[in-house]
Amino acid sequence: METTKLNILLNLALIATLLSIVILTNPYHCDEIVVINLGEKTTYPSLNISSKKVIYFGFDPRLDPDTEIQIYAPLMSYLSDKTGYEFRLKYEPTYELVQNDIGMNVTQFAAVGPVSYIVTGLRYGNVIPVTVGLDENKSMFYRAVIFTRTDLNITSLAELKGKSFAFGSYYSTQGHLIPLIMLEEAGVSLKDFREYAFLGSHQQCAEAVISGRFDAGAMQDLLAFRLAREGLIKIIAISKPFPRSLIIANKAVDNNLVENVKKALIELEPLGSHSTLTLWSMTEFPGGFAEPTIEYYAIYYELVEKYLLSGESK
């Protein structure tokens, strides 16, 4: 009887592994494994097979959960091999929860945009930058894009007055903060829209505009350029360059581990020897990682305070 129970548990664990969506050990209860399957949650008793120390890695939700997990799972394997620790993903559906996790040391590392880095630092005071992402040209900067449906005769930001507008997350750098600046410079405020909403991610924003739910929206440059090439959206404005997304760590993480993770990330060559990373060109880090220049991010403090933390744009 005991052998049968053990076999059942082993089979369940094997199935969960093969699904490869994301497997998380609850950081507060070491006797439980939580399997996240696109919103469904099932728990199984842990077999406690691994003796490695577990490190949790979070990320701002930019695309759909399944795609994000496909992207980051190989990176977890890479970091596990390089550091000797067992890296596991922790998916959260909102930027706020990602910020809370890294701020409370529920996750030890996270891939986040500059706004999440700044906001988490201001609220918790205990996160540090590890690496900055690079684009295909090894640039540490990126842009935001404002776009419309292809069937609308809109060619400028001023023409968005009276239209409906979709943002990503409230705490998104490319999906909210930078577009707010672009709109303000064009003489457009939120009260000029017939309707606006925060939809949670770049992917959700794109889908809402393409489907006709909204007239226009804002999102990250890489996804926007791809959708424009496919004829699904029309780009009407591109921002100036801003410092791009980072990998950050909680200050409680052992410094040796932080340095080993930094070394491993900087050595990562997604355009070369590690080109087999799944869908990596869709991330904020298509060209890999570099040592961050912290001074570049000073501009965000004033912008975050003016546009986001004041609450005026909510």
CATH code, domain carrying 169: 3.40.190.10
End of a domain among 240, 255, 281?
240
Low-confidence ranges of the chain (pLDDT < 50): 1-21, 23-50, 312-314
Residues 10, 152 within the same domain: no
Residues 111, 134 within the same domain: yes
Q: Is residue 314 part of a domain?
A: no
Q: Is residue 313 part of a domain?
A: no
Residues 236, 152 within the same domain: yes
pLDDT of residue 273: 78
Distance CA 154, CA 142 (A): 24
Q: Is residue 30 part of a domain?
A: yes
pLDDT of residue 274: 78
pLDDT of residue 16: 45
Distance CA 213, CA 175 (A): 17
Q: Is residue 208 part of a domain?
A: yes
Q: For residue 70, what are the domain limits?
A: 56-139+244-308
Give how many domains the chain has, as a whole number.
Answer: 3
pLDDT of residue 310: 77
Residues 109, 72 within the same domain: yes
- Are β-strands 23-25 and 32-37 bridged in parallel, bridged antiparallel, or unpaired? antiparallel
Cα dist. 88→33, 80, 106 in Å? 12, 9, 12
